[in-house]
Structure 1
Amino acid sequence: MYFYRQAQATVLDALPRLQRLKIATKRPDDYFAEMAKSDQQMQKIREKMLSKKISMEKSEKAKQLRTL
């Protein structure tokens, strides 16, 4: 907790200094970070998430039908 509070106090001290020196502390709106994974890997992840979502929805529908 001491480390957290020390870091927080430092940030609260540093931000006004950086603003006074006109140094940007926020990313521009059009900033795009370099991705750690390739687009192909991300597409596979999206497909898996979509298939899980669809299977969960089917499972929920089946449960609802059984209760009726």
Structure 2
Amino acid sequence: MKDPDFSRAQWRKSTFSADGACVEVAYAEGAIGVRDTKQDGAGPILVFDEREWAAFLRGVQAGQFEIDELTA
């Protein structure tokens, strides 16, 4: 996958975000970007294709990424 251009992407963050604990996601050119909101767009962007993102979301919905699961 070539590097997608996120410069005009519509970045979104969760309404559950608070106290600087938030990330933003955006869609551009068939890819999903994830970035740290605190970086104000200047930090790195993690890029996932649609299949990777869908697999991640299924894992989130199944509770596989809860803190107690990650530390086990």
TM-score normalised per structure 1: 0.28
Instruction: Name the larger-Rg structure.
Output: 1
Q: 1 or 2 for the larger relative contact order (CA 8 Å, sep ≥6)?
A: 2
TM-score for both structures, normalised by structure 2? 0.27
Structure showing the higher helix proportion among its residues: 1
